[in-house]
Chain A
Amino acid sequence: MQRDKAALPYRGKSQLDRAVELAARHCARVFVSVRPSQVADPLRAAHPLLIDSLPGEGPLVGIRSGLAAFPDVAWLVIACDLPFLSDAALEYLLQQRDPSLMATAFKSAHDGLPEPLCAVWEPAAGAALAGYQAAGGHCPRKFLMRNAPKLLAPLDERALDNINTPAEYAAAHAALDAADLDVMKLQIQYFALMREQAGRSEETIETTAATPADLYGELTARHGFTLQLEQLKVAVNGEFSDWSRPLAAGDAVVFIPPVAGG
């Protein structure tokens, strides 16, 4: 793949930005590891940078540079081309971490070998990595294989898949879209006072509202409904519903103002 993998967009956000946001939900501070020649790249420069400060290049030098810059802390190291890496996987990694070892890492679902770029590197690894590199080593995976890290089976076979070809990129896109339940389309119908206040009988909206109660709050902000939620009932897919029922894509929602038949 000829393109910069860090720049690949997923739903309008670069893979690098997604990875930084993911890491920031689990770490006190987040840095993007760069070679000195990448410092001016706007995609990377938007984040705090950790510039390689030691001779050589590649991930090993990046990891060593981090451990050298902050020798007293452990580093969660993640590659920026893991579109399926989840909060759950990182929570599990951090919870299982063993600070008495050089590192705690996931092992590949494919070959069982340690994944150095989805791992927690402990301060003790700094000196050992320096010795490994001085002896001619350059591969962080081989370093881990020799240094008995704690290895974790991945929670999800795909979690550590990286993206190397346009076909893999297209497949990752499709899979992420299918898995994305956060934003969904709903059909809303309005009656009586609410129809007049919304200025329409129906609409299709995209929302992240999890329940009818959340949805009413969102639509009240948009349309200025005057009725309080406590005055209403709600129907989902043509039947009365609880306000806390989880909404699903394609649901048809109707808010029911106080009735006055007869």
Chain B
Amino acid sequence: MLFRFSTTAIDAAGARLELRDAGAGGFVSFEGWVRDHNEGREVIRLEYEAFQQLAVKEGDRIVSEALRRFPIKHALCIHRVGALSLSDMAVWVGVSAVHRGEAFDACRYIIDEVKHRAPIWKKEYYRSGDSGWVNCDHCAAAPHHTALHDPRRHAPG
């Protein structure tokens, strides 16, 4: 399995061991953490929700693409669902490869594509007491499909 969900804290140390390979000269990982602010608002916690049936398929496709595009050994992505607190790990991506360059590139590719394509949603709870679905609540009146699905528009993770 190249992509999976976790309902509890992600075990990054254990996940890293799944990618060990005697032929690999390097390992790169990315961790997305819950940040205390977004778009000028003070965030106190998050909830992640996923359409898991399709998200696992799409996540598997993304990691498979990375394994084809880059000369890497192994790759894995784990995403949290449920309630998360500040500094909790929301997503983990790991890649092992013969050389570091491809490992960095593949890791970047996987996290960017997951943020862009996997049916996963994030609800932010703010210090002010209200809450909102990222990319949905503030954009309901302004349909700009590509901009809304652009992962670079929102920094967290």
Contact = CB atoms under 8 A, between A and B. Distances in A.
Interface of A: 189, 191-193, 195, 226-228, 230-231, 233, 235, 238-240, 254, 256-262
A258 B115 CA distance: 10
A257 B48 contact: no
A260 B122 contact: yes
19 contacts: A192-B121, A192-B136, A193-B137, A226-B141, A230-B145, A231-B143, A239-B57, A256-B119, A258-B136, A259-B118, A259-B121, A260-B115, A261-B114, A261-B118, A261-B120, A261-B157, A262-B79, A262-B114, A262-B151
Contacts of B137: 193
B156 A254 contact: no
Interface in B117-157: 117-123, 133-137, 139-141, 143-145, 148-149, 151, 154, 156-157
A260 to B, nearest CB: 4
B16 to A, nearest CB: 19
Contacts of B79: 261-262
Contacts of A195: 49
A261 B52 CA distance: 12
B34 to A, nearest CB: 11
B51 A191 contact: yes
Sorting the interface of chain B by its residue count into under 10, 10 to 19, 20 to 34 or 35 or more gives: 35 or more
Nearest to A225: B140
A238 to B, nearest CB: 5
Point out which of A195, A230, A233, A258 has the most chain B C-beta atoms below 10 A from its C-beta: A258
Nearest to B30: A262
A262 B154 CA distance: 10
Contacts of A226: 140-141
Contacts, number: 98
A195 B120 CA distance: 13
Nearest to B55: A261
A259 B135 contact: yes
Contacts of B117: 259
Contacts of A254: 51, 54, 119
A231 B139 contact: yes
Contacts of A231: 139-140, 143-145, 148
Given A256-B119, A261-B91, A193 B133 contact: yes
Contacts of B111: 262
Nearest to B120: A261
Contact of A193 (B53, B116, B136, B143): B136
B51 A256 contact: yes
A258 B139 contact: yes
B90 A262 contact: yes
Contact of A227 (B54, B57, B134, B136): B136
Given A259-B116, A261-B157, A235 B51 contact: yes
